[in-house]
Amino acid sequence: MVMLKVMRKKIRIILWGTIILVIPTFILAGALVGLKERRLNLVASVNKKGITREAYYKEVKRLYREMRERMGDEFNEEIVKSLNLEEVVVNNLIRRELLLQEARREKIGVSDQELREEIKSHPAFQKEGRFDKETYFALLDWLGYTPQKFEEEMSKEISITKLKNLILDGIEISKKEIRDEYLKRNEEIEIEYLLIAPAKEVKVDEKEIEKYYQENKESYRIPEKIRVRHILIKGREARERIKEIKRRLEEGEGFESLAKEFSQCPSKEKGGDMGFFTRGNMAEELERVAFGLKKGQISRLVKSRFGYHIIKLEERKESHIPPLDEVRERIKRTLKEVRGWEIAKEKAQEIASGIGKEELEVLAKRFSLEIKGTGLFKREESNLPRKIEEEAFGLKVDEIKGPLRGRDGYYLIRLIGREGMDEKKFSQEKEAFSRDFIQRKKALVYSQWYRNLYQGAKIKIYPVGD
């Protein structure tokens, strides 16, 4: 019993050492497969190399087991749904396969000695600080691995680590970069500003409305809309189950009643009614079929990443441009808003042109504006729009800049004071700050590198169950 508790603790160290969504990466990857296998056996493919359902279900099972170990009775279906764990598993399988392919492309190998050293140095396989064979074999047995299979997968993990090191090891930061970044995060400034808000009392006449409508008719076009019902079946044997539903539809049973009984979409409560959709707002596979249907027509079986669907077209509204009467108030609001901003800009420019000739306080009083102050603040700590805040940090003391457009009007800003960083505090925090800074920089570089790798790959995701 004691041994089992120790094993569970060590497993948690392996699998939960970072965050809950870090999935164990000892997973099976599929091989090149044909169309039939692709349809029936895969959850995804990466550059035409398949990731099997066997691998997926094995990882889901393993993840659920470890989460129950960690969370006990708190682990339930709501947790699974809220964390989207099944999608996380698929994404991690894809990530690992993509990284393994890149490691092979870079000809990154792992020697037997590297593998032995990695296993022997792993804390999970040690007792009193030394590698222990009994612990090693006991843990592998608990995980469901033979030593050969475990070492094969460990070798892949090492190759991925070496790939990451190849990307990140050359990244360095200079003393100047460290100091500049620390200053950027810790300096404080204080500003005064005038805010010239868009004018509210703006008149718009009928001729302006008509002219705007004629010049911008197309922007008011209402796109084609369709209202559909659907039945969604997902999970294992989904294809066979939905075939049976399709057969019953062909024999004359009602679509709405079958949707309420069998669909696994929340729309089942409305008989599968999904409401109106325009193009671009449905899954591509569904849209292509749905928009090709005639009113009352029922589709063939449609496969998407969600599962299998049957679609029925209930109603279609053709694309059209509404008459002026229907959009008059919208146009009036648009014209008032545009003119309101124009008036604010003209006023802000007039005030700015007087700076240097008169004090800002005098100009503010003349235009019935209040000079507002911020007090000292660091970057991203004020209530100012980010663009205005960043401009303020670039000013010299007593320098005025503007007009600058923000979300709520035009700003004229003046820097009142600047507090540099605390040199003593910097000296105390420099080492820890440098470690954090380099890790952030590496994370950013790796994230961008992986994004480029992913975007350049041919990745397909299939429904998990059918």
Same domain, 52 and 156: yes
User: Does one domain contain both 368 and 385?
Assistant: yes
Long-range contacts of 50-55 (CB under 8 A, 24+ apart): 51/90, 51/93, 51/94, 51/97, 52/28, 53/464, 54/28, 55/27, 55/28, 55/29, 55/30, 55/93
Q: Which residues pair with 245 in a beta bridge?
A: none
Residue 443 domain flag: no
Are 116 and 17 within one domain?
Answer: yes
What is d(CA 290, CA 284) in angstroms, rounded to the nearest whole number?
10
> Is residue 284 in some structural domain?
yes
DSSP 377: B
- Rounded to the nearest 10°, the torsion over CA 381, 384, 389, 391 is 180
Same domain, 383 and 411: yes
Q: Answer yes or no: is 425 within a domain.
A: no
Query: Which tokens belong to 92?
Result: 């991690």
* C-alpha span between 30 and 92 (Å, rounded): 15
Contact 110, 162 (CB under 8 A): yes
| Chosen domain end from 300, 317, 334 | 317
Q: Tell me which DSSP letter residue 236 carries.
A: T
Do 334 and 302 reside in the same domain of the chain?
no
| Residue 138 belongs to some domain of the structure | yes
d(CA 435, CA 295): 63
Q: Is residue 15 part of a domain?
A: yes
The set of residues, in sequence order, having a beta carbon less than 8 Å from that of 56 and lying 6+ positions away, is 43, 89, 90, 93, 464
Residue 275 lies in a domain: yes
Is residue 256 assigned to a domain? yes
- CA triple 33-37-43, angle to 5 deg: 95
CA 8 to chain centroid: 33
Residue 70: inside a domain: yes
279 and 375 belong to one structural domain: no
**Nearest of 226, 228, 233 to residue 301 by alpha carbon:** 233
Q: Can you tell me the distance from the alpha carbon of 446 to that of 452, in angstroms, rounded to the nearest whole number?
A: 10
- CATH (domain of 14): 1.10.4030.10
What CATH number did the domain enclosing 290 receive?
3.10.50.40
For residues 271 and 194, membership in a common domain is answered with no
Looking at the structure, tell me whether residues 292 and 352 fall in a common domain.
Answer: no
List the CATH number of the domain containing 332.
3.10.50
Sign, CA torsion 56/61/66/70: positive
**Backbone conformation region of residue 415, classed left if phi is above 0, alpha if psi is from -120 to 50, else beta:** beta
> Which residue among 317, 341, 364 closes a domain?
317
**pLDDT score of 74:** 80
Q: What is the pLDDT of residue 331?
A: 96
Task: Find out whether 402 and 410 touch, Cβ atoms under 8 Å.
Answer: yes
pLDDT at 185: 92
Verify that 16 and 67 share a domain, yes or no: yes
Based on the domain organization, do 103 and 135 belong to the same domain?
yes
Return averaged pLDDT per consecutive 10 residues of the chain, 466 residues in all. Answer: 42 36 34 38 89 86 81 78 82 94 93 92 89 89 84 92 91 92 94 95 93 94 94 88 94 94 92 92 88 95 90 95 95 95 95 89 92 94 93 95 95 95 92 94 94 94 68
Regarding whether 163 and 93 lie in a shared domain, the answer is: yes
What's the pLDDT at 15?
37
160 and 47 in one domain? Answer: yes
Print the domain residue range for 373: 188-206+324-419
Distance CA 396, CA 182 (A): 19
Q: How many structural domains does the chain have?
A: 3
3-state secondary structure of 105: helix
